[in-house]
Amino acid sequence: MITISAFKWVPPMAHGLARDIRVRWALEEAGLPYRTTLLSFGDTPPAGYGELQPFGQVPIFEEDGLVLFETGAIVLHVAQRSSALLPANPVARARATSWLFAALDTVELRVDQLCELDLFYRGQEWASVRRPQVEQALAKRLAQLAAWIGDKDYLEQEFSVGDLMMASVLRALRHTELVARDRVLSAYLARCDARPAFQRALAAQVAEFNAHRPD
pLDDT tens digits for 151-173?
999 999 899 999 999 999 999 99
Residue 38 sits in which domain range? 2-84+197-211
Please report the pLDDT score of residue 42 as a whole number.
Answer: 72
Q: Which residues contact 84 (CB under 8 A, 6 or more apart)?
A: 29, 30, 31, 159, 197
Nearest C-alpha neighbor of 166 from the set 140, 202, 142, 195: 142
Whether residues 56 and 79 fall in one domain: yes
By the 10 Å C-beta count (0-12 exposed, 13-18 middle, 19+ buried), 166 is classed as buried
140 and 78 belong to one structural domain? no
What is the rounded CA–CA span in Å between residue 110 and residue 52?
28
Same domain, residue pair 66 and 157: no
Radius of gyration of the chain, Cα coordinates, nearest whole angstrom: 17
Quote the pLDDT of residue 116. 95
**In angstroms, rounded to a whole number, what is the distance separating the alpha carbons of residues 68 and 66?**
7
The reply to whether 94 and 191 lie within a common domain is: yes
Same domain flag for 102 and 80: no
Quote the DSSP letter at residue 32. -
**For the ranges 15-24, 47-56, 96-105, 145-154, which has the lowest average pLDDT?**
47-56
pLDDT of 49 higher than 80: yes
The alpha carbon of residue 157 and the mean position of all alpha carbons in its chain are separated, in whole angstroms, by: 20
For the chain, what percent of residues have pLDDT higher than 70?
100
**Each residue's pLDDT tens digit, 198-208:** 999 999 999 99
> What does pTM read for this prediction?
0.95
Please say if the pLDDT value at position 98 is more than 90: yes
Q: Can you tell me the mean pLDDT for 184-197?
A: 98
State pLDDT tens for residues 118-134: 989 988 999 999 999 99
Strands of 60-63's sheet in order across: 34-39, 2-7, 60-63, 66-69
Task: Report how many domains make up the chain.
Answer: 2
What is the pLDDT, as a whole number, of residue 65? 94
Q: Are residues 135 and 44 in the same domain?
A: no
What is the CATH number for 104?
Answer: 1.20.1050.10
190 shares a domain with 102 = yes
For residue 54, give the CATH number of its domain.
Answer: 3.40.30.10
Residues 113 and 186 both lie in one domain: yes
Q: What is the pLDDT of residues 173-182, one digit of tens each?
A: 999 999 999 9
Instruction: Fill in the DSSP letter of residue 37.
Output: E
Between CA 90 and CA 98 the distance in angstroms is 12
Query: Do 155 and 205 sit in the same domain of this protein?
Result: no
191 and 202 inside one domain: no
3-class secondary-structure state, position 20:
helix
Is the confidence at residue 41, as pLDDT, over 90?
A: no
Do both 49 and 96 map to the same domain?
no
E strands present in the chain: 2-7, 34-39, 60-63, 66-69
- Are residues 212 and 57 in contact, defined by beta-carbon separation less than 8 angstroms? no
